[in-house]
A and B are shown apart, each in its own frame.
Chain A
């Protein structure tokens, strides 16, 4: 049942080029184009004023991190630092932005189209509808992240790898970030956004409100991603654990807040 709800939404999304094309462009920009250009520029910028500035930035990193940065030349060290540490937050910005855009429309969209009436009269439980909508919103963002991350890994290894003795990416911090920290942060944002999507009167209002919700979560997760990539593994694991607990609490509360009357559009004020 849950799969049917999610699959219907995902099929719809897949067929709406106007909808998914900007999201693909966003993921491509952040995971592929910007890293590719930056890593190439940094790798070939030895003994330039730019390299001096990058060296200054690297000099501000914690000593333990500086010790981990590999490479003999300044440009290699700068490229390594960029790839492993400074670009980490994109892993969280991309899925949050994509999933928020999908999630904002998830429930209010059903109401606006009138398809909420069908769901309301169906034997689906509210929890099944909620989880189906959650999955349909989470999957595009997370899938884009996984694909983008894979391409990013290849770019990093191809551009920076030869200078540091071979393929080295993803590092432990990135594995944790992608598979342990990013999912609960998407879930936190979606729990808030789906709740809002069930309450607002129109899809336009939902998109406006989702921006307000997503922004603090992005800032929070950006800080977490930046921090944990520098931190020892156990603290990254801890940040993820806390995020999972918060996400589960919010999701349980969110699933309880959905009511059939909201799918029908007669309880928008409630």
Chain B
């Protein structure tokens, strides 16, 4: 990947982190503070304009990132963990057990993501926590399916067999060979799922199932601005653009993360990531040679 793209990507990720941790650094106006300037278009003092109650849209957009990002990150994390657990179980299980586990996964796969989410929120109440749970449960079967087939494929890889031949125990083989290779695939899968997570989270909050007003949130702000769309396009458009940008970023990163983690890529930065990844999975590593 070219230098320019690398720099752009890093900057974008930095912005995302800021939005998550310290939105105050980017926006200096209180997002819930009402004012006198109602429904004003974008101007010098209000970069993205103001809404019905005079609140600064730019600030709301900046602060509105948090619930969305938290919900999607945590939700995908949850789904990844559960999906990996189930997928690994299914992948190493004998045929009968595998069939049972995967059928159960299929059942959940049959239910659309949003339906599961809606039902869950109806029972557990709205809010970020519910959205996290909803995404976690809804995305798990997809993850489980992919992980299961990966595990089954990796288990029969020739280098795994080679390890058996010189007497490596199952535990050791799993740790040294299966897990690192599985990790790469899972990381790539997870990062591309974040895009979907953002979409789902914002859809749910659009429907009013996320944080309650007046707290800022992209989805709910977008919904609130829908009625005034013709006169005050900025109310919905900026949150919408923010959502789009985030999803694009997530997909982009997912695509390129793969190349970084794959030893066949060989970019310099990739090397250090690689050693990091192998160290993380090696846990007290056992190298015959110290890395130069």
Query: Do A and B form a real pair?
Result: no
